[in-house]
Amino acid sequence: MHDVAQESRDPVELLEQIGELRGRVAELEAQVADLDRLAHLDALAPVANRRGMMRELETMIARHDRHDTPAAMLFVDLDGLKFLNDCFGHEGGDAALIHVAEQLLAGVRTTDCVARLGGDEFCILLEHADEQSAIETAERLVNLVAGDDFLFEGQPMPLSVAIGVTLVERGDTPAAVLSRADQAMYRVKAAA
């Protein structure tokens, strides 16, 4: 038996409705993609946030384990953020964080992940990086940040960072890599 209501529908009208629904689905998919992207970006600096970095780190560890691809994490601490906030106000401290994030982005490959973990801490995920290249990248970034003449409202703002380096090891967890990199950064600060 045929449904009379279905037979009475105009095929042109149905095609128009299908087109409208497809357009709406495409809009919703774009909104979901935008929200996902925003959920993984830092609110202040133009880099990933902790959530975005952890997602990238999980992927990097999986590639390392599957293909034995060398990989490293750099843990970056902006020196003296409290001092900068006290001297230049919180706007100055925010400007310093944004500037350091931009310097870190400029100093690594576009395929590397730069993230702000929160406060004055950043990390960088380096794929296809052995220990020597990771150390060289860290040294280059330290010099890049320290050698830059950054001005905030016409006043020179001294910027420096301490960077700890760790390699991804077989069977690592994101928490283990992050912890080792954090400890390496504190060893660098203690030695300074």
Q: Is 3 exposed, middle or buried (0-12, 13-18, 19+ CB in 10 A)?
A: exposed
Please state, as a whole number, how many other Cβ atoms lie within 10 Å of the Cβ of residue 145.
22
Q: Is the pLDDT of residue 59 over 70?
A: yes
Among residues 42, 77, 112, 120, which one is catalytic?
120
Beta bridge partners of 75: 123, 164
- For the domain spanning 50-191, the CATH number is 3.30.70.270
Q: What confidence tier does 166 reach under pLDDT thresholds 50, 70, 90?
A: very high
Q: What confidence tier does 128 reach under pLDDT thresholds 50, 70, 90?
A: very high
Q: What confidence tier does 35 reach under pLDDT thresholds 50, 70, 90?
A: low
**Identity at 66, one-letter amino acid code:** R
Q: What confidence tier does 11 reach under pLDDT thresholds 50, 70, 90?
A: confident
Domain ranges across the chain: 4-39, 50-191
Phi, psi of 72 (to 5 degrees): -145, 160
Distance CA 97, CA 122 (A): 9
Q: Is the pLDDT of residue 1 over 80?
A: no
Q: Residues near 43 by Cβ (< 8 Å), separated by ≥ 6?
A: 49
Residue 8, pLDDT score: 62
Q: Is 132 exposed, middle or buried (0-12, 13-18, 19+ CB in 10 A)?
A: exposed
Alpha carbon 70 to its chain centroid, in Å, reads 19
Q: Is the pLDDT of residue 150 over 80?
A: yes
Q: What confidence tier does 37 reach under pLDDT thresholds 50, 70, 90?
A: low
Residue 32, pLDDT score: 58
Q: Is the pLDDT of residue 3 over 60?
A: no
Average pLDDT over residues 6-31: 76
Q: Residues near 121 by Cβ (< 8 Å), separated by ≥ 6?
A: 75, 76, 77, 78
The pLDDT tens digits for 80-125 are: 999 999 999 999 999 999 999 999 999 999 999 999 998 999 999 9
User: 120 an active-site residue?
Assistant: yes
Q: Is the pLDDT of residue 159 over 70?
A: yes
Q: Is the pLDDT of residue 64 over 60?
A: yes
Residue 48, pLDDT score: 94
Nearest Cα residue to 125 out of 44, 181, 186, 173: 181
Residue 34, pLDDT score: 60
